[in-house]
Structure 1
Amino acid sequence: MGNVAAPLASGLEGVVVAETRLSEVDGARGRLILAGHDVEALAGGGGVTFEEVCGLLWGGALPAPAEREALRAAIAEGRTRAFALLGRLGDALGARDGMDALRAAVAHLEGDAPPAAIAGAVATFAAAWARRAAGEAPVAPDPALRLSADYLRMARGGAASEAEARELDAYLVTVSDHGMNASTFAARVVTSTGSDAISAVVAAIGALKGPLHGGAPGPVLDMLDAIEAAGPRGAEAAGRAERWLQAELAAGRRIMGMGHRIYRVRDPRAAVLERAIERLARTAGGARGARLALARAVERAAEAALRARYPDRPLRANVEFYTAVLLDALGLPRALFSPTFAVGRVAGWCAHIDEQRRAGRLIRPSSRYVGGAPGAAAPAG
C-alpha cells in the first residue's frame, strides 16, 4: 500500500493546492482581500459595482471608466443573448429547485463562452427561473442598465431604485470570490483536466447548491420568522430569541447562519451586508429596520448560546446570516437566494478558470486505501 506513510488531510484541511492573485481569506483576523483590496473598502464604502469587481478579478485592477463601460456592455450582451436562448432550453427552467434550473440552463451555453457572456447568462437564467416559478413570463433584459439594477428588474418584474441596485452591488461584490471554497475548487479541478469553461461552471453550480456551501441562506429567514412568532407581539426580541435558540440546540439542530469553516471570528462579509441593510433601511424605509433589529438581536443571542455550549469552537455570524436579511429586503424570493449567490460568485469562478488554465497542471490528489487485501479471508457471517 504505497500511500500508507502519506499524511491524511480529511477534507483537504490546511492543504495548499494553488497560488492565486484573486483573494485571500484570513480566518484568524476576519479579513477578506479581493485582488489587493479589502472587501469592506470595495463593498462597504467604495460603492464598487459588479462590473467593476469583474474587471478587478479578470484583469487584475479596478477598470478605468472606458473599460468599465465596455465590461458593462459585454455583460449586458451576455444577458440579452441568454434571453434569446430561453425558448430552446426545453424544461430546464421548469425545475422546482432554482439551482437545478440554473445548472441545466448554463449547460446550454457554448463550451468556451467568454466570462462576460457567462456572467450575463447566469443573471438572466436565474431571474427567468424566478419568474417562471411565480407563474409569470420572463422579463427581457435592458442592456442600458448595469447588472444589479437589471437583475432586480428581471427577477421582480419592476424597476429597482438606485438604493436597491447599489446594495445588491454591495452583495454581489462581497460574494464574488472567497479563496479555495468548494465551488471554486470544483471549477478548478474540471478546468485542470483541459475541459471547457461551461463544464467547469456547471460543476461549480452543483457544488454551490449544497447546504454546507451556499445553499442555506433561506433557512435563516425561517429562523427569524419562527422567533418572531414564538411569543406575543410585545415580548422582548432577545428573550424570545434565547428561548427559541436554546430549544433548537437542546433538540440537536444546527443554528443557521452561524459558524464558518475558515473564520474564527465574525465573517467580515456579514459586517458588510449588515451595513448594506442599514443603509437600505434608512433610504427605503418600510419594515426593513424592524427586521434588521430582530436579526441583530438573534445574532447576539445565538453567539451567547453557542459560546456557552461550545466554548472551544468560535461560532459567529457568517455571510449567510445577513445575506438572507438583505436579499429579503430587496424583494427577492427565498428560493432565489442561492441562484443569486451564483450571480455574484460566477465572477470569481471565471477568474479561477483562467488562472487554472495558466497553471496547466492536472489536479489529482491521492487517497488512502483501507479495504481488504487480495486473497484475505471473507468476514464470518
Structure 2
Amino acid sequence: MSTSKGLEGVIVAETDITSIVDDQLAYVGYSIDDLANHALFEEVIYLLWNKKLPNQTELKEFTHQLTKEMTLPEELLNHFQTMNLEKTHPMSILRTAVSLLGVYDPEVDIMSEEANRRKAIRIQARIATAIAVFSRLRQGKAPIMPNPNYSYAENFLHMLKGEAIDPLEVEAFNKALVLHADHELNASTFTARVCVATLSDLYSGITAAIGALKGPLHGGANEQVIRMLTEIGEVDRAIPYIEEKIANKEKIMGMGHRVYKTGDPRAKHLKEMSRKLTAKIGQEKWYLMSEKIENYIKEEKGLPANVDFYSASAYHSMGIDHDLFTPIFAMSRTSGWIAHMLEQYQNNRLIRPRAEYVGPVKHVYQPISKR
C-alpha cells in the first residue's frame, strides 16, 4: 500500500466546480482573472452553486434573498452577550456562532435539495452579519442592520464600520471575496466534504471547515503576514528582518503554495488593490515592505507570493481588525464550501481512507501485576 504524506498529489474526487490546471484557476470554466476584474461576489456565489452565471433577473432575486436573510436570530444575539468577545479569537467565536445558527434553523436536519438550498442562502447571508456583529459588540458598539440597496461586499463593510464606505474599498473587498471563494480540495473544503459524506447537515460541514481554516498553515496565514509587517515597521528593515528569519529557519508566511509552481494567479489582483489602498491612506510603506519581501523571497527561495500575502496589507488599509482577516476568509470560502457539500450530496460515498500501520506487532497482554 503506497502512501502520500498530506495526500499530496492524490486525486480523491471528480468536480465541476473549480479547476487548477497549469497554474490557472477557474470557477466552472471562468478564469479567475475574468471574474476578479468583472464579477460581483453574488454572481460568483450563484455560479458556484448553479454552475452558470445569473442573468439580470436571477441576480436581482438572488441578491434580494441574501440581504433578506442577513438578520440574525435573536437567540444568537443573546448568546453573543454571554461570550468573552474581547479575549476569544474571532475564529472560535465564528465556529460557535455557525453551530448555533444550525441549532436555531428549523430545517437543519431536512436534507431535501430544496431545504439545503434555503439553508445555503441563510448560512452565506448570516455569516457576514455574525462577523460584523461580534466585532461591533466587543467594541461596545450597537449592531448595524444590512442595507437592502447594498451589494454583499458593501453591506459587510457597512455593518462592520457604520460609515459611508469608499468605492475603492468596496471594489477591493468584492475582489478579495471573489478571489477567496473557492480553491478546489484545500484542507477546509476537504474537511467539509468528509463531514457531509456521513450525511451530516450543512451547518456541521461549515463548522468543521471553519475549524480547519483556523490553522496558520491554511486561512490564518494572512493574519500572520500583517503581524510580520507590523513587527518590521519600516521599509528599510524588511530585508534584514527576513534574512534573520531565514537564518533561524523560520517560515515566511504568505509565500509559495503547494499547488502552484510559477505563482498564485490570485495574488496579482490583491497586490494591485494593496498598492491603491495604501496610497489612498498615505501608508504606502505596507505595500512597499510587502513588495520588497516578495521580490527577495522569490529570488532567494524561488517562492512567489500567494493570495494571503497582499490581502493582509489590503485589509489593514481598510481599517479592518487583524484578527478578523481569517473570519473574512471564511465568509468568502463559505460559498465554495457549500458548493462542494451540495456536490458531495449529489453523488455521495462515505469518505473513509486507510492508513498504513507502522507500529509494533505481536505484543502479548500481561496482567497488571506483571507489568
TM (normalized to structure 1)?
Answer: 0.87
Q: Distance in 1 between matches of 2:243 and 2:161?
A: 37
SS at match of 1:187: helix
Q: Distance in 2 between matches of 1:245 and 1:281?
A: 22
| Corresponding residue for residue 58 of structure 1 | 49
**Structure 1 pair 92–141 and aligned structure 2 pair: CA distance change class (3 A):** farther
| Corresponding residue for residue 232 of structure 1 | none
| Corresponding residue for residue 86 of structure 1 | 77
* Comparing 7-16 and 82-91, the one that deviates more: 82-91
Q: Distance in 1 between matches of 2:79 and 2:229?
A: 40
**Structure 1 pair 82–120 and aligned structure 2 pair: CA distance change class (3 A):** farther
Contact kept, 8 Å, 2:124 with 2:331, in 1: the verdict is yes
Q: Distance in 2 between matches of 1:84 and 1:77?
A: 18
Q: What residue identity is the alignment partner of 1:278? A: R
1:50-97 alpha-carbon deviations (Å, 9 max, x no partner): 111011101111111111111111111221245774225553573611
2:11 is the alignment partner of 1:20:
no
2:270 is the alignment partner of 1:273:
yes
Matches within 5 A, 1:113-262: 114-229=119-234, 237=235, 240-262=237-259
SS at match of 1:214: coil
1:173-209 alpha-carbon deviations (Å, 9 max, x no partner): 0000001000000110111101111000100000000
**Structure 1 pair 93–15 and aligned structure 2 pair: CA distance change class (3 A):** farther
**Structure 1 pair 220–369 and aligned structure 2 pair: CA distance change class (3 A):** same
How far the C-alpha of 1:228 sits from its partner, in A, is 2.9
| Corresponding residue for residue 304 of structure 1 | 299
Contact kept, 8 Å, 1:209 with 1:215, in 2: the verdict is yes
Contact kept, 8 Å, 1:184 with 1:349, in 2: the verdict is yes
1:216-270 alpha-carbon deviations (Å, 9 max, x no partner): 21221222223334xxxxxxx4x53221111111122111211212112221111
* Comparing 240-249 and 184-193, the one that deviates more: 240-249
How far the C-alpha of 1:153 sits from its partner, in A, is 1.3
SS at match of 2:141: coil
SS at match of 1:25: strand
Q: Distance in 1 between matches of 2:23 and 2:357?
A: 37
Q: Distance in 2 between matches of 1:30 and 1:327?
A: 25
- Unaligned stretches of 5+ in structure 2? 109-115
| Identity %, equivalent residues | 36
| Corresponding residue for residue 99 of structure 2 | 107
SS at match of 1:268: coil
**Structure 1 pair 83–335 and aligned structure 2 pair: CA distance change class (3 A):** farther
Q: What residue identity is the alignment partner of 1:87? A: N
* Comparing 58-67 and 178-187, the one that deviates more: 58-67
Contact kept, 8 Å, 1:152 with 1:159, in 2: the verdict is no
Matches within 5 A, 1:278-297: 278-280=275-277, 285-297=280-292
How far the C-alpha of 1:159 sits from its partner, in A, is 2.7
SS at match of 1:364: coil
Q: Distance in 2 between matches of 1:22 and 1:363?
A: 19
SS at match of 1:264: coil
SS at match of 1:301: helix
2:68 is the alignment partner of 1:77:
yes
Q: What residue identity is the alignment partner of 1:214? A: G
How far the C-alpha of 1:134 sits from its partner, in A, is 2.5
Q: Distance in 2 between matches of 1:294 and 1:347?
A: 32
**Structure 1 pair 375–298 and aligned structure 2 pair: CA distance change class (3 A):** closer
SS at match of 1:258: coil
Q: CA RMSD in A?
A: 2.1
Q: Distance in 1 between matches of 2:168 and 2:63?
A: 19
**Structure 1 pair 318–75 and aligned structure 2 pair: CA distance change class (3 A):** same
| Corresponding residue for residue 333 of structure 1 | 321
Contact kept, 8 Å, 1:207 with 1:213, in 2: the verdict is yes
SS at match of 2:199: coil
TM (normalized to structure 2)?
Answer: 0.89
User: How many pairs are equivalent?
Assistant: 353
SS at match of 2:100: coil
Contact kept, 8 Å, 1:83 with 1:140, in 2: the verdict is no
| Corresponding residue for residue 234 of structure 1 | none
Q: Distance in 2 between matches of 1:20 and 1:174?
A: 19
1:23-50 alpha-carbon deviations (Å, 9 max, x no partner): 1123xx432111111111111x21x111
Contact kept, 8 Å, 1:96 with 1:133, in 2: the verdict is no
Q: Distance in 2 between matches of 1:298 and 1:11?
A: 28
SS at match of 2:266: helix
